[in-house]
Each structure stands twice: as structure tokens, then as C-alpha cells.
């Protein structure tokens, strides 16, 4: 799956993120497209770095073992685009997920930079999807008066997850849904790790005095989980989680 594009200085690379589901003992081929919109030529070097691997993989499962970049030096003319083919080789010893960084670097006059883009590999048939909302908190910001949540997502599985979902806000007395907040997919939570996510529950003054119930529902792969938290908004707008 290709997601968007990334740019640094004036160089553009598509896709910005690569997610590949690979069978064991398979080869998957794909490519990047690198565009130089400048009015002068540029030379780009393409490399790779290790990133996050599920700990159940052999210690020698480095990015050099499973990722082959077919073109490592790019001479791109003004306004031109160049394809960078690559292949992923998934062997029989790989399980869960592995990942790496594709590194694009240049030093041409004023253009001097390094861009790193992630590539994630899930070994199909070995996935263990196991994540939870480890903790929740809701409170009001002194800075802008908005009500924010802090959600700690714990990943006990063997693949990275990138969750999305919704928050349903209920009037805890009437049991009516008064607001639905979307949780957008953002940063991944890697296997055997946790990450705290923040977001807005309600704008300043949007929720009146009363007691509320927030139901968090998040989904990754084919699994959905939920967690509830009650909170109270005072007459002065203060927020207390219960």
C-alpha cells in the first residue's frame, strides 16, 4: 500500500510510507519515484538502515538481508523523475514484522540533506494481533481551554499496528450520544512497545456542566477494541476524569 508522498527541500519521493504483506520464501517487487522540481540537476544517493524488528526474529534479520535496492545513485535532471526499483526477499525464518529506512541523501550546492522513509514488512500467516488501550485520561488544557485525551496503546503482538477509530461521547444521565470524534491513523505502535496518543475530545465550552461517558473504539487489522472513561465538567468548565 502506498501512502502519500514526502518532500524535503524541493525533492519529492513517492510513496512516503511502504507497507508490504509478504509470504514466506517470496519476493515482492516495487519502486519509488523521485522527482527533482529544481531548475538544476541533482545527484541523489540511496541507502538503507535498520529500523524496528519484532524481537522473535533471528538476530541477523537486518535490512541488508531482506531489502535489495536496484539503483543507488540517481542523476536527476531539472524537472525530471527517476524510478528506484527495489525488492523484498522474505525467507522462511522471518516472523511477525520487520522494518527499515530508505535513505535519500544529496549534496549539490545549496541542496544538502538526508531524507529517511520507512518501509514495513509483515510476514503473512505469522501475524499475532494483540493490542490494548492500557490507560486513558481526559482533562482540560490551560493553554486553549479544549478538552484533550491521552490514550496509551500497548502492542503485545508481533507486528506493528497503525490504528484508527472513534470516540463516542455520551450524556451519562440521559445515555444519549451527543458527539462522535474521529481518531485518525497516525504513528505506528511497534511490536512489544507502547505509545501515548493525544487528541481533542471537545472544543472550549462545547460540553456544558454535567457527567459524561467517553467510549474509545480503535481498530487495527481485523481487530477492534474499546475502553470507557467517565468524566465530569463543572460549572466553571473544569474537567475531572472519574
Render pLDDT for 208-231 as a digit per residue (tens, 0 to 9): 999 999 999 999 999 999 999 999
pLDDT confidence of residue 14: 95
C-beta separation of 54 from 94 below 8 A = no
CA–CA dist 54, 36 (Å, integer): 35
pLDDT confidence of residue 60: 86
C-beta separation of 44 from 11 below 8 A = yes
Please state the pTM of the whole predicted model. Answer: 0.87
Name all domains of the chain by residue range, CATH numbers in brackets: 2-123 (2.60.40.2310), 131-241 (2.60.40.10)
Instruction: Select from 23, 94, 96 the least CA-distant residue to 65.
Output: 94
Low-confidence ranges of the chain (pLDDT < 70): 1-9, 108-111
Q: What is the pLDDT of residues 127-154, one digit of tens each?
A: 999 999 999 999 999 999 999 999 999 9
Amino acid at each position: 500500500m502506498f501512502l502519500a508522498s514526502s518532500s524535503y527541500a524541493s525533492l519529492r519521493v513517492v510513496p512516503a510510507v511502504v507497507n508490504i504483506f509478504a509470504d514466506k520464501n517470496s519476493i515482492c517487487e516495487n519502486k519509488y519515484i523521485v522527482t527533482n522540481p529544481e531548475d538544476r540537476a541533482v545527484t541523489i544517493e540511496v541507502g538503507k538502515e535498520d529500523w524496528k524488528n519484532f524481537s522473535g526474529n533471528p538476530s541477523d534479520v537486518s535490512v541488508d538481508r531482506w531489502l535489495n535496492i536496484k539503483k543507488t545513485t540517481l542523476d536527476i535532471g531539472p524537472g525530471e523523475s527517476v524510478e528506484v526499483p527495489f525488492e523484498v526477499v522474505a525467507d522462511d525464518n522471518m516472523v511477525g514484522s520487520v522494518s527499515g529506512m530508505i535513505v535519500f541523501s544529496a549534496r549539490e550546492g545549496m541542496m544538502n540533506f538526508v531524507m529517511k522513509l520507512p518501509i514495513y514488512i509483515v510476514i503473512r500467516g505469522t501475524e499475532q494481533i494483540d493490542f490494548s488501550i492500557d490507560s486513558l485520561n481526559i482533562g482540560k488544557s490551560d493553554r486553549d481551554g479544549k478538552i484533550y485525551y491521552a490514550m496509551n496503546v500497548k502492542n503485545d503482538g508481533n507486528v506493528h499496528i497503525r490504528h484508527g477509530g472513534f470516540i463516542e461521547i455520551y450524556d451519562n444521565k440521559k445515555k444519549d450520544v451527543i458527539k462522535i470524534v474521529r481518531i485518525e491513523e497516525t504513528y505506528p505502535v511497534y511490536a512489544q512497545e507502547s505509545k501515548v496518543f493525544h487528541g481533542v475530545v471537545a472544543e472550549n465550552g462545547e460540553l456544558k456542566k454535567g457527567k459524561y461517558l467517553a467510549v474509545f473504539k480503535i481498530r487495527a487489522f481485523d481487530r477492534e477494541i474499546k475502553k470507557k472513561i467517565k468524566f465530569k465538567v463543572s460549572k466553571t468548565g473544569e474537567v475531572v476524569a472519574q
